[in-house]
Structure formats: structure tokens, C-alpha cells
Amino acid sequence: MLLVLDGLGGLPHQSHGLTELEAARTPNLDQLAREGQTGLSQAVGLGVTPGSGPGHLALFGYDPIGNNIGRGALSALGLGLDLNDGDLAVRLNFCTLGADGTVLDRRAGRIETEVNHVLVQKLNEIDIPDVDLRFVTESQHRAVLVLRGPNLDRRVVETDPQAVGVPPKHPDALDPKATHTSALLAQILVEVRSVIGAETPANFVLMRGYAGTPKLPTLGNLYGLNPVCVATYPMYKGLARTVGMEVIDSLHTLSDQVATLDNAWDAYDYFFLHVKAPDARGEDGDFDGKVAAIEDVDERLIEIVEHAPDVLVVTGDHSTPSRLGQHSWHPSPCVFWGDTVRADETSSFGERSCGGGSLGVFPAQAIMALMLAHSGRLAKFGA
Amino acid sequence: MLLVLDGLGGLPHQSHGLTELEAARTPNLDQLAREGQTGLSQAVGLGVTPGSGPGHLALFGYDPIGNNIGRGALSALGLGLDLNDGDLAVRLNFCTLGADGTVLDRRAGRIETEVNHVLVQKLNEIDIPDVDLRFVTESQHRAVLVLRGPNLDRRVVETDPQAVGVPPKHPDALDPKATHTSALLAQILVEVRSVIGAETPANFVLMRGYAGTPKLPTLGNLYGLNPVCVATYPMYKGLARTVGMEVIDSLHTLSDQVATLDNAWDAYDYFFLHVKAPDARGEDGDFDGKVAAIEDVDERLIEIVEHAPDVLVVTGDHSTPSRLGQHSWHPSPCVFWGDTVRADETSSFGERSCGGGSLGVFPAQAIMALMLAHSGRLAKFGA
């Protein structure tokens, strides 16, 4: 079982000097650390801040650099949309444009998801010859557009300027083969303007994360695993589907997630349990909220451990220090716990304590090999 | 000097919580750890269980993945057989076939080596045109067949089914160029059946580990070393010969091995001293036996250190926890001791203590470079 506390790692609080994880009361995680082996896992490399895609691909054992999946495809997969070969998925933000054509708010005041639904319904009336367009609500200001048609190419400039006070960029082709797609996206943006240009506050969209259908070998093919994803957020379900996991749907709370293990335990042999809250509170800059989110997981840990996995790994996909309010490059505390895990001298679960663990700072991509080894699933190499 | 305690690393005992090495009384190894630098060496990679071949190649500084030597060649070299270019070496197990042609015992009840000698003598009467066959006893049920003739190719299916209750596999060609070898091995197996088919319990052989003559640059060529192997077991002598070491023969005990250093010390500049017992007792599942084997080495350590090597490294090629009774993927405790070694804060030689050492978890392949550096044999890189 891989238990991911999204954005787990943090930085010391500027008054009391403890990180969120160090400040949290985590008797159960501390016991894992005492009985298990610890270290700091690093998804991409020293100094590199991982997005959710590379962060999780590494945890699943994939090269996170060679397998960079576009955000559009992740979002589409997370929403359960079918992507065919040749489709192009685009991540959209509803935004607010000023009268001068510059971006006033890249997220249109984080509109309610209900408003998003109404806008998406209008956008789905856009009709352009030779291409099927499907706009789909993700949440709040976030949506996805899937294009299906001939000759689509993702090598186009993202229109999101990543700043306010400037106009959106034009979707210029970055490669001669993307000229058709560039023209198509420009035409779509004209239509979008005509359909929702009079709305408030969301009167336009910004495009980014162009992506074709990701093609990865599955965990079943690679390792003979029958894996399952126990997550609440679309993005992580999408990542899990991309690597061939089955996804248990209709989970909304940590309580749902833990409860579903009872039924699922005998049906699968690899569990990816994803907890979003530590990252969300970290991005909010909410130190105490992140502490509470970590403590919530600690309280449910006994119910998870009760299932007696061959090996349990608890770590993050990246750090999200509430002090920074965003993903960071700091490696993630990590603990391995199980019958064949060789304990080290770490006695609590935290950034500093795991920093002295016998795994050292190690690539998150190695977690899968270690999990397979600790489950007795790898043969000896060489005579 | 590289002192390899084969299978050194272990796992905590389920009652008292100490590993074999931690439980052993090792005042001399502890002193090395106190005065030296420690870490955990890893032959192949995180989660990978090394066989003896890759485990030792890494310790000698070779890439253990790019230089995977077949078991047949290792066994042949270990027996002191000459292998020429183009020869094919095959590892044989004498086995017991049932009347229905399925394998009843893959090791023929581990027959006495004397019985093996008699069987091998009979098999050496097999005569096939255009190829020289040489069957050689290894020990118990283990033997080697060396084929010498034109057009031999190792890309053939191993006939050992690695299971009982099923027939041996047919030596099918895995590549069109191996068709001749496939037919030849099939013919040999027919002859083997006719020569020993009526014996009990060893009435057939299983073939695996097909290997051509390994071609590795020697330690002499690579590093200007004049290296020597001080080992008792054929396999490790074979590995040492493969990398160009001289091998001191007729050593049977640890006492022999330590005593021979007196004469050899001035004749060589790199010593590979291999102690098999910790691995053998670990494979037997004999915790106390492995403890005793480690203590035996500790007692002789003073006589080794007396020779004042520039640098002494003590480690394992892989772990063999007696709890598992087989090689494992856990990295090996490692200590560097010598005049230019920078000591760390480790104060005893064990899995947990070395896990906090300043070498961290590091690739065993780097040990050679560090030994050369600590012996003053490497020039500055760059101006």
C-alpha cells in the first residue's frame, strides 16, 4: 500500500520552528517510523519542484522526466473522459478580461462550479466543421476542452500569460506541423468570446496543458500488479487510470476511502491511497489546517494498518510548505513499514528525523522496486 | 584489502530485535567502524536482490548490470577450467525424473559429491561428432558441461523448469543463430538419458546458466593493479579470475586464508579476501550459526589489520538474512578504514549503525574508486 499525503513536506514555522508534520500529533505515524525505515523521497531531482503528474508518476515507478503528461490529459482522464489516439486535451481556466483585453483575474474570482456548468453548456454549442469539441466542467474556474479530429498537434503556445495586466497570448504554432491546430484554437477562442464575452466575471478562457493521449505501459504489464486507486480528486484518479489502475469512484472523504478498503482488500494487490488535504491546506498558506489534515490521517492509520499490507509506504508526491503556499522542491518524508523492512534508528515521522533515516535522500522512482521486493515479487538478479 | 563477508547483512531477530551482525560480539569490527567511515553498500539497485556474480562484479568496480556473467561460466571458472573464445559453459543439476517424465527432485536428493564423480565419469563417455564435451563435478548435485566446437550460441531455453511435477523444458533456440546449439543440446540430453537413465536417484540432468567466455577488462589493465584472490569456494575464485586476479589455491579454512597473507603480502597490491560462511549459515536459516561465522572473522581481524593495508574495506556482496534463508535486496553494512579515511560518528558495525554513516546508501561499484583514492593511486581530475 502506497499512502500519499499530497504535499506532505513543509518548512519550519517562523515562530516555533516546527514544520506542519513535526507540529502535528502523529503517534501512529511515529510508530511506523520507529518500526520501519525512513528517508526523504525526491520525485524529480534536487531543486526541482514537481507538479502532481511527475510527482505521482515517480511514486508509481515511472521516469517522471521521460513521461511528462500534459495537464489537459490529466484533467480529462480525471473526469473520466475517454481519450482516443489523436485527440487533443486542453486545460481551461475561466478568466476575467478587462475592456482593454488584458487579463484582470486568471481564475474569474474562482466562480462556483454551478456557474461553470452553465458556461460550459453554452460553450458546447460552438460548432466548427471537421472537429468535435467537448467542453467539460472540472471545478470552480477549471474546465477541459477535448478536440477530436484530424491533424491535431500539441506544439502550440499556451494562451495563459501566467500574469494579470497583460492580454492572453495567441496560440501560435511552435512547429510547422501545428499550424492547423493553431488556427483551430484561434477560431475557437473567437467563438468563446462571442458566446460568453458578455458574462460576469467569467467572460473568457485561458488555455494551457495541451496534451495528446498519454501512452504508458501499465503496472499490470510491467509488474503483474492488479492495482487500485482510492482517491477523491479527479486529477489523481486520472493519473491512476493512465498507469492502468482501476479506480474506485464515489469516494468523497477520507472516511469513505478508509472504509472502502474493507471490500477492496482481497480484490487487488496494490493500493494507492491519495489524501489531498495536506496539499490543499498548504496551498492556502494554512499551517494549522495542514497540521489538522495530517492528524486526520494519523487517526485513521490504525484502520489502514489493520489490513496488514506486506509493505506500507507513507510519503508525499512533493512538499507544499504552508509558508510558501505552493509546491516546493524539498524532498518528502517517507517511511517503509512491513515484515521484511530493516528498521533504522529513526523514532518519529518528520522532515528532520527522516533526514537521518537509512534510506537517505533517494529517488521516489525507486519506491516501486522496493515495494515489490518487500512483497516478495522480485526474482534474484544474476546467478 | 577488500574483505567480503558473503551475505553479511540480515534482518532483526523476531524475538530480541537484533540482526545477526548486531547480535554478534565484534569488538574489532566495531573498532574499525569507530575509527573509519561507514555506510550501506548496494550492488545493483534499490530493491534488487543480487546473485553472487553481480554482487562481486560491483565490489570489483564493474557495472553489474552491463556485465552479467552466466552461471555456467562462473562455475567453470571456479573449477579452474579453461574457457576459450567460442566455448559454451552450461550449469547442470543432477535431478530425479519420474516414470512419467516429470521432475520429482530438481537436485536428486542432493547426492554425495562422490556419486556425482561416478556419474560424471560415465557422462564423459558420450561422444558426439564435431564437438568436444567435458562434464565436470562441482559439488553434490552440481556439475558443469563445457562444449567446445563451431557455432555455439547461448540463446537457448534453459531446460530446468524451476519446479517439480512438470517435465524438463526442451532446449529450444531463442534466436535463429542458436538452432545448431539447440539441436546439439537435445542430442546430448538423449545420450544422458541413455547413459544414466537407470541410476537412482540421479537419472537425468537439468541445464541452465548457458554462458560464453566472459570478456572483461582486467583490474590490471583498468587500474594497474596486481590483484589476488584469497577465497575457498570455486565460484568466487572463478569471479576473481574473470577480472584478472591471481588465485591462491588450496585454501580450505579462514585460518588458511589469513595465514597465506603473510607470504602473499609483498607480492600483490590488491587483496580480495572472501568468507563464505555468513552467507551459507544465512541460507540455512541458522541465525546463531551466522552470528558465530561473523564472530570468527572478527577474531581473525587483528591478524589481517596487522598487515597495515592502505585501506581496508569490510562489507558484503548482498544480504542473506537467516530469517529469509536466501539472498535479499537489503544493502550491506560497509566500513572503510585507513589512514586517509574520514571518520564519521558511527561507533559500531551493524545494519542500523552503518545506516547512519556518512557514506549513506551508496553503490558498491564505487568502492573500487574509493579504495584506489585511499591508496593514493588516482590522479586529480582536471586542472
Residue A75: band (very low, low, confident or very high) from pLDDT cuts 50, 70, 90: confident
d(CA B67, CA B375) in angstroms, rounded, equals 26
Distance from CA of A121 to the nearest CA of B (A): 50
Please name the residue of chain A whose CA is at the shortest distance from the CA of residue B239: A383
> Grid coordinates 482516443 are at which residue?
A84
**DSSP state for residue B217 in the 8-state scheme:** -
Percent of chain A residues topping a pLDDT of 70 = 100
Residue B356: helix, strand or coil by DSSP? coil
Residues of B with Cβ-Cβ distance to A382 under 8 angstroms: 44, 50-55, 64, 68-69
Phi, psi angle pair for A156, to nearest 5°: -130, 145
Residue A65: band (very low, low, confident or very high) from pLDDT cuts 50, 70, 90: very high
Coil, helix or strand at residue B172: coil
Q: Quick check: B197 contacting A, CB < 8 Å?
A: no
* Average pLDDT of span A50-74: 92
Chain A residues closer than 8 Å to B320 by CB: none
The mean pLDDT of A331-360, rounded to a whole number, is 97
Size of interface A-B (CB pairs under 8 A): 90
The CA-atom distances, in angstroms, between A315 and each of A21, A58, A243, A248, B176 are 11, 12, 19, 21, 48
Write out residues 103-122 of A within 8 Å (CB-CB) of B: none
Q: Can you tell me the distance from the alpha carbon of B56 to that of B273, in angstroms, rounded to the nearest whole number?
A: 12
B366 touches chain A (CB under 8 A): no
A369 touches chain B (CB under 8 A): yes
Confirm or reject contact between A222 and chain B (CB < 8 A). Answer: no
Q: What is the distance between the alpha carbons of residues A167 and B172, in angstroms, rounded to a whole number? A: 67
| Pairwise CB contact (< 8 Å): B51 & A381 | yes
Residue B163 in contact with partner chain A when CB distance is under 8 A: no
CA B176 and chain centroid, separation: 32
pLDDT range class, residue A332, cuts 50, 70, 90: very high
Binned at pLDDT 50, 70 and 90, residue A81 comes out as confident
Q: Where are the alpha helices (DSSP H) in chain B?
A: 20-23, 27-35, 52-59, 71-78, 113-123, 179-196, 219-223, 234-242, 254-264, 277-283, 287-305, 351-355, 367-374
* Chain B positions in Cβ-Cβ contact with residue A378 (cut-off 8 Å): 47-49, 329
Residue of A nearest to B50 (CA): A381
pLDDT for the residue numbered B83: 86
Neighbour-count burial for B99-115, b at 16+ CB within 10 Å, e otherwise: eeeebbbbbbbebeeeb
For the segment A259-284, what is each residue's pLDDT rounded down to a tens digit? Answer: 999 999 999 999 999 999 999 999 99
Residue B306 CB: number of other CB atoms within 10 A?
12
Using the Cβ of A362 and the Cβ atoms of chain B, whether some distance falls under 8 Å is answered with: yes
pLDDT by residue (tens digit) across A92-139? 999 999 999 999 999 999 999 999 999 999 999 999 999 999 999 998
CA distance B20 to A198: 76
A355/B contact by beta carbon, under 8 A: no
The answer to whether the CB of B315 falls within 8 A of the CB of B58 is: no
Q: DSSP string of A168-237?
A: PPP--BSSGGGHHHHHHHHHHHHHHHHHHTTSSS--EEEEEEEE-------HHHHH---EEEE-SSHHHH
Residue B213: per-residue pLDDT: 85
Query: Which residues from A are below 8 Å from B91, CB to CB?
Result: 383
Residue B272 confidence (pLDDT): 98
Task: Identify which of B40, B49, B209 has the shortest CB distance to residue A381.
Answer: B49
Question: B299 CA to chain A: closest CA distance, Å?
Answer: 27
* Nearest CA distance, A373 vs chain B (angstrom): 5
- B9 is written with which cell numbers? 547483512
Question: How many whole angstroms separate alpha carbon B352 and alpha carbon B322?
Answer: 17
Mean pLDDT of chain A: 95
Residue with cell 558443469: B144
Chain-centroid distance of CA A371 in Å reads 21
- Sign for the pseudo-dihedral over CA of A68, A71, A75, A76: negative
Pairing of strands B270-275, B227-230: parallel
Set of chain B residues whose Cβ sits within 8 Å of the Cβ of A340? 11, 321, 324, 328
pLDDT at A338 over 90: yes
Quick one: which of B151, B143, B147 has its CA closest to B133? B147
Within 8 A of A357 by CB-CB distance, chain B residues are 355
**Is the distance from CB of A55 to CB of A318 less than 8 angstroms?**
yes
Whether A237 and A78 have beta carbons less than 8 Å apart is answered as yes
Residue ranges of chain B with pLDDT lower than 50? none
Q: What is the full DSSP assignment across A125-178?
A: T---TT-EEEEEEEETTEEEEEEESTT--S-B--S--SSSSSPPPP--BSSGGG
Per-residue confidence (pLDDT) for residue A76, from 0 to 100: 87
Instruction: Tell me A84's DSSP state.
Output: -
Give the gyration radius of chain B's Cα atoms: 22
The pLDDT assigned to A143 comes to: 96
pLDDT tens, residue by residue, A124-134: 999 999 999 99
Tens of pLDDT, residue by residue over B99-154, are 999 999 999 998 999 999 999 999 999 999 999 999 999 989 999 999 999 999 99
3-state secondary structure of B135: strand
The verdict on B363 touching A (C-beta cutoff 8 Å) is no
- Interface ipTM: 0.84
Sequence-ordered list of residues with C-beta below 8 angstroms from that of A361, at least 6 positions apart, any chain: A39, A40, A42, A46, A331, A355
pLDDT above 90 (res A348): yes
pLDDT bin (cut points 50, 70, 90) of residue A39 is very high
**Which helix (H) or strand (E) covers residue A262, if one does?**
helix A254-264
Burial class of residue B57 (count of CB atoms within 10 Å of its CB; 0-12, 13-18, 19+): buried
Nearest Cα of chain B lies from the Cα of A21 at a distance, in angstroms, of 22
Residue of A nearest to B235 (CA): A383
Span A246-253, average pLDDT: 94
